[in-house]
């Protein structure tokens, strides 16, 4: 299968599971094209997150490091150096955890969201959001 066909499969993936399968198949066959594949998966994952019924529970980092979650915004600082940068993102993660705790998420769901929300694969948080919505009854 050509790389363009793999990228097309990634663009057509309609669930996070299918997107992960398309990612795995593409990187197995084209290991040197990982960067192009990762960005295609990241874009499609962000689209899946925006279209999800629980999209408000998916943290999104926008322009100028504005972090949005549950209708609220947190501005992530720049830090000045590598240590300051780490602290800025640490406090951003604490803010996210606090908002999700206030919404009623369990520690396991919060941890799963924290593991993937700032990565290239944001669609992986959707399973935690789904379990939260199912438990909440919505």
Q: Please give the Cα distance from 93 to 129 (Å, whole number).
A: 17
Cβ atoms 122, 58 nearer than 8 A: yes
Q: Answer yes or no: is pLDDT of 94 > 80.
A: yes
Q: Distances in Å between the alpha carbon of 99 and those of 13, 66, 103? A: 30, 15, 6
Residue range 108-124, pLDDT digits in tens: 999 999 999 888 999 99
Do the beta carbons of residue 41 and residue 67 sit within 8 Å?
no
What b/e sequence results for 110-124 when a residue is b if at least 16 CB atoms lie within 10 Å of its CB, and e otherwise? bebbbebbbeebbbb
Section 100-107 average pLDDT: 96
- Kindly report, residue by residue over 12-41, the tens digit of the pLDDT: 999 999 999 999 999 999 999 999 999 999
Alpha helices in the chain (DSSP H): 3-12, 16-29, 34-51, 82-103, 107-116, 126-136
């Amino acid at each position: 299968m050509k790389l363009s066909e793999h990228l097309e499969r990634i663009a057509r993936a309609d669930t996070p599971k299918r997107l992960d399968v398309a990612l795995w198949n593409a990187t197995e066959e084209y290991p040197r094209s990982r960067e192009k594949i990762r960005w295609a998966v990241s874009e499609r994952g962000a689209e899946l997150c925006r279209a999800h019924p629980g999209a408000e529970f998916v943290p999104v980092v926008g322009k100028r490091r504005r972090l949005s979650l549950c209708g609220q915004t947190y501005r992530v600082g720049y830090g000045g150096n590598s240590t300051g940068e780490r602290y800025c993102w640490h406090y951003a993660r604490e803010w996210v955890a606090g908002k999700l705790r206030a919404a009623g998420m369990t520690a396991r769901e919060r941890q799963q969201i924290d593991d993937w929300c700032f990565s290239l694969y944001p669609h992986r948080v959707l399973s935690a959001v789904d379990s939260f919505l199912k438990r909440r009854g919505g």
